[in-house]
Amino acid sequence: MIDFARRWMPFDGSADDEIFTTFGLSPSDFYRRVHEMLAGSTVSRINGHANRRRLVRYCARKAEEHRDRPLRVGPTVVIAS
């Protein structure tokens, strides 16, 4: 999960449906969990303290952005009867 967030950070995150498809989580839950992982333990895969802090701030911001949004997965299809 950390690697996924780190890969997408330069692009300001992945598409919401990709997070749901890959991890089965809403974007808010995904970013909250990554934030908790980074803030609560030492993660050796992050090179440098500054990079880790940047990823922590990024995940906190993304979790807050998605907090009140409904999850949309894929295009909305309306079938008229």
Q: What is the mean pLDDT of residues 59-79?
A: 65
Distance CA 31, CA 33 (A): 5
User: For the segment 26-68, what is each residue's pLDDT rounded down to a tens digit?
Assistant: 888 999 999 888 877 656 556 667 788 888 888 888 888 887 6
**pLDDT (0 to 100) of residue 4:** 92
Distance CA 80, CA 70 (A): 24
Question: Between 70 and 2, whose confidence is greater?
Answer: 2
